[in-house]
Each structure stands twice: as C-alpha cells, then as structure tokens.
Amino acid sequence: MSVYKSLTTSDVVVTPFKVNKSFTFCGVNSLSSVQEEIVKEFGPTIPGTANTLAVKAMEWFKNLLFLGYQISPEDFAALYGLSFINFGAEGFSFGNAAGTIGTLGTNTNTTLVSTNECIPLNDPNVQITRYIGTNITSSTWVSGSNQTGLDTILNQELVYNSVKQLYYTNYLRGKDGSPVLTSSIAIDGIRNGEGGVQPSYDNYLPNTLLADRSFPTGSNEKIGLISIPSGLFGEHIKPGSFTFSYSGSLATGSISDDGKGGVILDGTKIGDIIYQHGMIILTGFNTSNNEKYGVGLNSGYGTARYAADENTNLFEIVNSPHITCSFESTMTIYESQYKCTFNPNEFIYSQNPTIISGSSNSGVVYDFATGSYFEPYITTVGLYNNSMELIAVGKLAQPLQSSNVTDTTVLVNLDL
C-alpha cells in the first residue's frame, strides 16, 4: 500500500494562455474635489464689476484648462452664477445678465457629476490620467510652469518631449521611418549631402506593418496623452478593445483603436496607442495651424468666441469630465496539469472510516475489503509539497473506481 507517490517532471505539463477582463470608467464622481482645487487656486469669487466680469471669467477658465482641471464651460458658468452663451460650431463666451458677481457653489440646481454607476477615472484604485503636451521653444523651461494634469501635475513641455523620445524618435522625418542619412566626401575634403546618424531607437511598435506614425514638431504644437496604469491593463491592452467617448459643449465624439496601433476618430487616424505601456497619444489635431486656446477670434476675452476649431476635440478629450473609457486588459495565466498515475497494487486501501467493522472502532476491517479483488473508489486527490504539506485538493465530479489489472490516471488541473 502506498500513501504518497512522488511526481516527476514528465508528470507535470504547464500551459500558458491569455485571459482578458473588460473595464469601463467614467469622469469624476464628485464636484467637491474640483471645487476645493478651484477655491484653493483662484478663490471663491471672481473679482471685478459687471462690465469686466465676463472678460475675467474667460481668463480664469482658460487658466483652469491649462492647469488640467476637468470642468466644462457650462459647469464653470454655473459655479460662478454666470450665463453661458453657446455659438455652436463657432465657440462660446460667458455673460453676466444679472449684473452681479457670482459666488462659487451658489447654483445648487446644476448637476456637475456623472449619473452612471461606472468607476470614475480619479478613483484611488484607478488613476487614469490625461495630459496636454506642448512643444514650447520660445522660453526657458521653469520648474512649476505650464502645468497639466489633474491628480498628478506634470509640465507640458516635459510631457511632449518624453512622448517624442519614447515613441517617435525614428519617425520625425518620415511617418514610416526616417530616411537613411547619406553623404559623400569630395576630393577636396568637403562633405556633401546630409550626414549624421540614422536613428535606431525602440519605439515600441505593435507589429511589423508600416508604422504610420506622425508627430507634430512645430512651435507650440500640442499633443494629448491618456495614461492607463499597468495595474489595470496587465501585460498590455487587448488590441481593438479601447474606446474613449467624450461629450461637451465644444465637441462630442468617440475615439477607438484599430487593433493595429492607431487611434481613430470618425474614420481618420489622429494618434497612436502603445498597447504594452497603456499610452494613448493624440497627435493629429493640427493645432499649430488653428491655435485659439484662450484667444478670442475678435477683440478679446468675454466678448470673443473661443476654441472654434479642431482643438475642440483635443480639449474635450483631455479635460471634459463627461467621458467614458473602456478597454480590455490582458494577463497570462499558467495552467499546471498534474498526471497522477498509480499502478494496480497502489492505493488499494480505502480511507473511509465506515470500512472498519464494529461500533468500538477496533481497527478490524470488513472481510470484503481484504480480498484481492477489492477495488475502492477514488473521490479526492491531494497534492503535497516536499514537506508533506497539503497545498491543493482536487475533487472528482463522481467517484472513480480503481482497477486491479490496469493503471489508473487522474488529471488534476491547477490554474495560477
């Protein structure tokens, strides 16, 4: 009789397989955190007279955007008791029809939070962040300037340069790869042609297809960045599973990935997704040609219209609280299959206490259990470590009768 039987390496088969889990997150779940940050940064009221309030309000709202606060212009107007004037595709402005200065939080009828039940982006266990990156070339970088982000504050210039270095260094002179730099040296020793070193960085391509990566390099051009923590997406975001819907007064739409590393808006590629890093990069809004962030089309703040161009989509994607972000994570699970085989002469004694005769538990088994043809049923298989500690128990769906003439094999699958 055998009580334990050792397993060899040939008895264990480890098989990896991929599993996916779907996630859906929404905008901020409370107004209090936004209120507290605005009060801390700007104070509870907008100073000025009835004639200058609308102009000052637009300036404050512009500053909020560049600081990364996720608040819509309607919500901002409601907070300060202002009127919101929507010009549709041409933009918007603020007004003050009542002629009084609004105070933060006085409009209790305004709903500033999402009414759905999904988990918000700024939840401590989520922390999906959104940033603006800017190619700032006209001034010296100063610590604490040009901030972006809500929960984690970063510098817009550093965001731009980091994304450029990590994901686009090979594609600054060509969307499918910078052309080879060539030059020749004439007999007089003068070098002709374009010289230099061909970039050969690892820019984390999703496949072997043509990269089709474009990156804006003009002065003050902007990019958008959505960063998903690795604790959510695991090894990588499942290709083809990412969607990001946004809704606001300036623009409404939905972006998604095409399963090949591109980010699509209305059938047009507007950026790239780095599946293994959880980075969604928005580069295709041509902001240098139509820059109107905070600058009126006519004479100035308050009376002019604001952000009436492709920047509106970038603004809403990065700043709007009315969003829904969905994707699927990917993890590798390892299934270990243990082949437990015992010979006809092994495990032929039952561990069931009812096999013992007599009410006094004398240790004498019934006669039928002592014969050579006794074949007990197997109901449970235990796996032990080298210290004979039980680490796993496998239950059979139905009892399996052992055999006295052939080997019996039980397969135990353990997913880790």
Q: Are 111 and 321 in contact (CB under 8 A)?
A: no
Distance (Å, whole) CA 147 – CA 132: 9
Whether the per-residue pLDDT at 231 is higher than 50: the answer is: yes
pLDDT digits (tens, 9 = 90+) for 140-169: 777 778 888 877 889 999 999 999 999 999
pLDDT tier, 128 (very low <50, low <70, confident <90, very high otherwise): very high
Strands 92-95 and 83-86: antiparallel
- DSSP assignment of 261-298 equals SEEEETTEEEEEEETTTTEEEE--S-TTTS--TT--SS
pLDDT tier, 215 (very low <50, low <70, confident <90, very high otherwise): very high
Average pLDDT of span 54-73 = 69
Q: Are 237 and 23 in contact (CB under 8 A)?
A: no
Other beta carbons within 10 Å of 307: 27
- DSSP assignment of 384-395 equals E-TT--EEEEEE
DSSP class of residue 189?
S
Distance (Å, whole) CA 83 – CA 412: 68
Instruction: Compute, in degrees rounded to 10, the torsion defined by CA atoms 381, 383, 389, 395.
Output: -40
Average pLDDT of span 2-28 = 86
**Residue 142 or residue 68, greater confidence:** 142
- First-last CA distance in the chain: 32
Average pLDDT of span 183-211 = 77
Of 88-92, 323-327, 404-408, which one has max mean pLDDT?
323-327
pLDDT tier, 78 (very low <50, low <70, confident <90, very high otherwise): confident
Whether the per-residue pLDDT at 358 is higher than 70: the answer is: no
Report how far Cα 382 is from the mean position of its chain's Cα atoms: 40
